[in-house]
């Protein structure tokens, strides 16, 4: 397969100062060099989708950005401040939240307690107000009837909604979604993307979504970052991504057409 | 099943249930049989030297100074320690611990803190119970089954145990309880270093937790005894 050169160092998107800037990030696991100098910007207020095939390091990238993995080299800055330096991660963690691929809900806490715990960790609201705020969001997410149920007693879709609710209850500026539609059927996948867009528009947060659902990502995103083999090969708008004609772009982007063609042949 | 929820009180209640209540039956059963065996062996050994009247002394001091703290701690490791390692291992592999860290909550303090606090009180109480049940077991085998003098047995128990023996017993129980819970928690917490997160790493963490804490209890028993004797 022909490989394009990695994308040049990040340039600010549409002349706006980046909310989050990832610069020359490297991460190795033993001999496996997963991230090989990943750089891109996240502008404020939109949905940035990080696309790539399975196993290309998208989730590792997200975990490096929030500090769950320590990168070997490179920098991550949030509002212009380096957040990888010791003791400075709190700034990013305070302003952001994270929706895990498998939700990571606290299984020994009820739906309501999952949300209250997130509020208690972040804010100084009195307990009664925390409960009120959590209940309001549960109502908004159509989970009110499940307030006193445990995560294991919820359906897959409800668990995903609860994970998103837990991420949003603290009114974050930036929300990371790690493969939010992994393992879901097409109908549920669409509803998750629809939920992300609806909530992003209503609440105004910036979303960074790691996914390999190309068609959905192109539809909902304001910015696309494409990673392959540890490099950023593209960073730009969805229309710019669709306009690229190099074979490896087309192979990834139009994989359904390629499969159809291959079967016909 | 007792769920922990998010509040400190709920987490303390759950820790009391797991370390205190759930260990109670297994510790009682082990204590009875430890006492029965001690009474039986003690009777035959002491009879050889014409000192069968010392059975109460032998049983009570053996239990109070050595057997009760060690066996109770090993039972806590087997019952509560394995549960703790497995639970933390699963919480690690299902990213619940990562979620806590990203929320700015100290996962160690949130998940392990209440258990350590409860271990400080529950393990000494369980050990004291072990001593009482074990001495009763010694009486059962020595006096009821082998027809030794019951009054003499209890008088020997009363004369044998001094304040320093009780202090040594409780000090060991406290140290072993903290060591057991800490080590099992550590193994569960770091289960992701034992292989790919999942069933095998959780299983490895659980095994290491109980094996290492049992070895640590025995090593610490020697050290504390050597310091106090």
Q: State ipTM.
A: 0.84
Q: What is the CA radius of gyration of chain B?
A: 20
Residue A222 burial class via C-beta count within 10 angstroms: exposed 0-12, middle 13-18, buried 19 and up: middle
3-class DSSP state of A43: coil
Establish, for the pair of chains A and B, how many residue pairs have beta carbons separated by less than 8 Å: 56
Cα–Cα distance measured from residue B33 to residue A201, given in angstroms and rounded to the nearest whole number: 68
- Lowest pLDDT segment from A83-87, A135-139, B165-169: A83-87
The pLDDT assigned to B204 comes to 94
Per-residue pLDDT band for A264 (boundaries 50, 70, 90) equals confident
For residue A21, the surrounding DSSP H or E stretch is strand A20-29
The pLDDT assigned to A9 comes to 44
Which of B6, B89, B111 to probe by mutation at the A interface, max A CB count within 10 Å? B6
Burial B7-39 (b: 16+ CB within 10 A, else e): eeebbbbbbbebbbebbeebbbebbbebbbbbb
The pLDDT assigned to B203 comes to 94
The answer to whether A241 touches A218, Cβ cutoff 8 Å, is yes
| Entry field: residues in chain A | 265
Asked whether residue A203 carries a pLDDT value surpassing 50, the answer given is: yes
The verdict on a CB contact (< 8 Å) between B103 and A150 is: no
What residue ranges of chain B have pLDDT lower than 70? Answer: 1-6
A114 contacts on B by Cβ (under 8 Å): 6
Cα–Cα distance measured from residue B203 to residue A172, given in angstroms and rounded to the nearest whole number: 37
Asked whether residue A2 carries a pLDDT value surpassing 60, the answer given is: no
Cα–Cα distance measured from residue A161 to residue A164, given in angstroms and rounded to the nearest whole number: 5
The verdict on a CB contact (< 8 Å) between A93 and B102 is: yes
As a whole number, mean pLDDT of residues A65-87 equals 88
Cα–Cα distance measured from residue B39 to residue B33, given in angstroms and rounded to the nearest whole number: 10
3-class DSSP state of B201: helix
The verdict on a CB contact (< 8 Å) between A109 and B96 is: no
Domains of chain A: 17-264 (3.40.50.300)
Closest-CA distance of chain A to residue B6, Å? 6
Q: What is the DSSP letter of A6?
A: P
From B99, B100, B104, residue closest to A90, measured CB to CB: B104
Strands in A47-199 per DSSP E:
47-51, 73-78, 81-82, 96-99, 174-178
B8 contacts on A by Cβ (under 8 Å): none
Which of B102, B105, B197, B198 to probe by mutation at the A interface, max A CB count within 10 Å? B102
pLDDT in tens, B192-225: 888 777 889 999 999 999 999 999 999 999 999 9
The answer to whether A254 touches A82, Cβ cutoff 8 Å, is no
Per-residue pLDDT band for A121 (boundaries 50, 70, 90) equals confident
B102 contacts on A by Cβ (under 8 Å): 66, 68, 93, 97-98
Closest-CA distance of chain B to residue A96, Å? 9
The C-alpha angle with vertex B151 and arms to B149 and B156, in degrees rounded to 5, equals: 95
CA distances (Å), origin A39, targets A23, A66, A234, B113, B133: 4, 15, 10, 40, 67
Asked whether residue A262 carries a pLDDT value surpassing 80, the answer given is: no
């Amino acid at each position: 397969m022909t490989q394009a050169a990695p994308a040049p160092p990040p340039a600010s998107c549409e002349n706006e100062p980046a909310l989050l800037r990832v610069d020359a990030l490297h991460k190795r696991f033993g001999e496996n060099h997963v991230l090989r100098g990943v750089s891109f910007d996240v502008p404020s207020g939109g949905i940035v989708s990080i696309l790539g095939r399975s196993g290309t390091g998208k989730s590792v990238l997200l975990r490096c950005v929030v500090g769950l993995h320590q990168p070997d080299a490179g920098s991550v800055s949030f509002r212009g401040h380096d957040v990888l330096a010791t003791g400075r991660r709190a700034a990013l963690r305070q302003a952001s939240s994270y929706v895990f691929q498998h939700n990571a809900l606290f299984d020994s806490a009820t739906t309501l307690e999952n949300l209250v715990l997130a509020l208690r960790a972040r804010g100084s609201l009195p307990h009664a107000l925390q409960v009120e705020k959590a209940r309001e969001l549960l109502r908004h997410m159509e989970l009110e009837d499940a307030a006193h149920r445990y995560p294991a007693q919820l359906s897959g879709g409800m668990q995903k909604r609860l994970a998103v609710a837990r991420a949003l209850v603290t009114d974050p500026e930036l929300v990371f979604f790690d493969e939010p539609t992994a393992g879901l059927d097409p109908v549920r996948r669409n509803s998750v993307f629809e939920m992300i867009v609806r909530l992003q528009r209503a609440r105004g947060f910036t979303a960074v979504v790691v996914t390999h659902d190309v068609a959905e990502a192109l539809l909902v995103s304001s910015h696309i970052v494409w990673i392959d083999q540890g490099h950023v090969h593209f960073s730009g708008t969805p229309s710019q991504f669709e306009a690229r004609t190099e074979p490896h772009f087309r192979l990834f982007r139009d994989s359904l057409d390629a499969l159809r063609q291959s079967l016909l042949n | 099943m007792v769920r922990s929820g998010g509040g400190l009180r709920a987490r303390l209640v759950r820790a009391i249930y797991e370390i205190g209540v759930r260990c109670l039956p297994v510790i009682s059963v082990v204590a009875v049989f430890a006492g029965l065996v001690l009474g039986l062996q003690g009777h035959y050994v002491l009879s050889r030297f014409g000192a069968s009247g010392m059975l109460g002394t032998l049983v009570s001091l053996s239990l109070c100074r050595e057997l009760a703290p060690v066996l109770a701690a090993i039972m806590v490791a087997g019952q509560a320690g394995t549960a703790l390692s497995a639970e933390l291992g699963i919480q690690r592999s299902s990213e619940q611990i990562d979620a806590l860290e990203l929320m700015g909550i100290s996962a160690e303090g949130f998940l392990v803190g209440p258990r350590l606090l409860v271990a400080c009180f529950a393990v000494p109480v369980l050990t004291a119970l072990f001593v009482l049940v074990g001495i009763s077991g010694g009486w059962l085998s020595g006096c009821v089954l082998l027809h030794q003098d019951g009054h003499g047995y209890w008088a020997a128990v009363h004369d044998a145990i001094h304040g320093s023996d009780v202090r040594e017993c409780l000090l060991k129980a406290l140290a072993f309880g903290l060591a057991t819970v800490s080590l099992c928690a550590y193994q569960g917490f770091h289960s992701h270093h034992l292989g790919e997160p999942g069933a095998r790493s959780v299983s490895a963490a659980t095994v290491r937790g109980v094996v290492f804490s049992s070895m640590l209890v025995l090593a610490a028993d020697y050290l504390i005894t050597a310091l106090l004797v």
